[in-house]
Amino acid sequence: MVALQSNVSQFQTKAGKAIEDFLVEYSKGSEDTTASYRGDINKFLEAIFNKKINTILDEELELLDYDSFKAFLDSLYGTLANGTINRNSSCIRSLYKHLKARKIINIDISFFELIKSLPNKMESYDVMPMEVVEQYLSAIEKFEKHKQSEKKWAVMMAIELGLRASEIIDLKWSQFKPDGNIVYVNGYGKGNVEYIEVIDRELYNEMISEIRIENQKNLFTLSKKNITDMMTRLRKLLKHEDRNYVFHSFKKTSVNNTFRLTGNIRDAQAKGKHSKIETTQIYLQEIETKMTGYFSLEKNLNHDLYKEVNYKTLIETLKTMPKELLFILNLKLKDNI
C-alpha cells in the first residue's frame, strides 16, 4: 500500500491510482468525459464508503455487496433520469471489472448481474404546468425552513436553464457570464455536450442577492437527498400524491415552455440538451441562444398587454402563435360562447 502522505504522490492509495488509470482508459481520452465519470465514481465512493478516489482503500472496495450497491442506486431514483442512473451503474460495474482484472480487488463481482437496468421512460415523470410550479414555489417560501432560498432558486434555475437535479447541484458561479442586460450560462449537459443559455441580468442579480456566499464556488449547497425529500413533502402538502411530480418535472416543464414559446422542436431539443430529437418528442408528449426562460421573460412583461392593444394588433399577433396555443385558445372560446 502506498503511504498515506499526500505529498508523496498525486494518489494516496494503490486503489486510487488504479481508479485514475481506469478513468483514462474508460473515457477514451476526453477530459470532459473523465471529469463526468470521476464525479460519478466519487459520488458512489462517498455514499458507500465515505471516501473519495484518492483516499479509498482496496480492502474497503471489497466490502461492496448486492444490498449496498442496490441501495445506492435506489437513492438516485427521483433525482436523476433513469438513463443517468443506468450510466452510473454501468460505470461502477466497469470499474470493478477493471480493478478485479488488475488484481486490486479479489471479491466475487457476479452480483452485478442481478442489478437490472431501469426502463428509460422519461414520460413516467409528469410535466408540471406553470400554475403548479408557482404553487410549489409558494409552498417552498411558506413551509421549507432549511435552505429555503436555495430551494426556490434551484427550482427556478431548473426551469430557466432546462437542467436536471444533478446539473443544478453542480452549477458554479463561474458558469455565469454577465453581458449588458443578459447573462450567458455555459455548461456541459448529458453526454458532455456543451450548452449556452441566456437569462435576464436582473433575475441573475436577484439570485446573487439572495443566495450567493463569498468564496463559494457552487450556487447551491443542496444535496440530492435535500431535493428528493423536498419534493416528497411538497407533493403531500399540495395533495399531488396521485401525480408523479419529481424534480425532473421542472426540466420537462422548461422544454415544453420553450416549444410553446417558439413552436420549434429544435429549440425545445436545445433547451433539454437532448442529443436525439426523439427524446424531446417524449418530453413534449405530455448556437443561436434565445432567452426562453419563463422567469427572465416575465421580468419586463406587461401581463395586461392583451387588454390594452387594439383589435387589429391582437388578431395579427394571434396569427403568429403556435398552432398548439391557438388550439387551446379556441377550445376556451368554444366553452365560453
Give 262-275 pLDDT, tens digit per residue: 878 889 899 998 88
Q: Is the pLDDT of residue 306 over 90?
A: no
Among 87, 102, 120, the domain-final residue is: 120
At residue 24, what are phi and psi to the nearest 5 degrees? -60, -45
- In the structure grid, which three cell numbers stand for residue 19, read together? 481508479
Instruction: Tell me: do 167 and 282 sit in the same domain.
Output: yes
Residue 5 confidence (pLDDT)? 37
- Give the structural domain span for 113: 14-120
State residue 120's pLDDT score: 62
Domain boundary among 120, 151, 173: 120
Task: Determine the pLDDT at residue 8.
Answer: 36
Residue 43 lies in a domain: yes
pLDDT of residue 131: 87
pLDDT tens across 126-182, in order? 888 888 999 999 999 999 999 999 999 999 999 999 999 989 999 999 999 999 999
In a domain, 84, yes or no: yes
- Residue 82 confidence (pLDDT): 78
Model pLDDT, residue 32? 62
Q: What is the mean pLDDT of the chain?
A: 86
* 163 touches 257 (CB < 8 A): no
pLDDT given at position 247: 95
Residue where a domain terminates, one of 87, 120, 153:
120
Instruction: Report in angstroms the alpha-carbon separations of 164 from 36, 56, 92.
Output: 15, 29, 21
CA distance 33 to 74: 24
Sign of the alpha-carbon torsion through 316, 320, 322, 323? positive
Residue 222 is placed in which grid cell?
Answer: 443542496
Say yes or no: 326 and 274 in one domain.
Answer: no
What is the pTM for the complete model shown?
0.60
Asked if residue 171 and residue 24 are part of one domain, the reply reads no
pLDDT in tens, 11-70: 578 999 999 999 988 776 666 677 778 888 999 999 999 999 999 999 999 999 999 999
Looking at the domain assignment, is residue 187 inside a domain?
A: yes
Higher pLDDT, 6 or 297: 297
Count the domains in the chain: 3
Chain segment 204-262, per-residue pLDDT in tens = 999 999 999 988 999 999 998 999 999 999 999 999 988 889 999 999 999 988 888 88
